[in-house]
Structure 1
Amino acid sequence: MSKAALKKELHKLIDNLDDEEVLNMVKEEIVAYQTKAKANFDDLSDLSPQDRAELEELATEDPDKDTITFEELKKEMNEWVSKL
């Protein structure tokens, strides 16, 4: 059974339930599952160990590492323009 078909069937079953206690139990189970799934969710799980290490290194590096002052930029631009 496909995921879409299963969801459709579950919706039908829920729509036909009249017992509020059972509906609350189903809701509690789904909420508990979603909460646990979110806590265990690792959106980086498809990264290789090398890619993960590189990403962690980039996340902890100095944010100003590759910045230059406006004066340095003007100097570099002037040098670049003079080579044209």
Structure 2
Amino acid sequence: MGASSWAIPVGVLGGLCLICLAFIWWYIPRLYTRGVQADINRVAAEKQERERQAAALREANGEIPDLEAGGAQVVTPVEMWVITQ
């Protein structure tokens, strides 16, 4: 009794589908993780740039950061004059 004429093509097609599924199962999460990391890096760079621009703007307006408070509070030159008096 010989093999059916459809057995070999179906087996080859099934093997190709299995290989494609394994490749997709391996590649898509890797691609997703790379994209998420790129987004995180982009957002961090944009935040750092905004903070740099804000600090430059505060400095250009004559505001002096209060270093003892961790730089979170800003003291204007007028307030600094009142504090030192």
Q: When you count strand as a share of all residues, which structure comes out higher?
A: 2
Structure with more contact order per residue of length (Cα contacts < 8 Å, sep ≥ 6): 2
TM-score (norm 1): 0.32
TM-score (norm 2): 0.32
Q: When you count helix as a share of all residues, which structure comes out higher?
A: 2
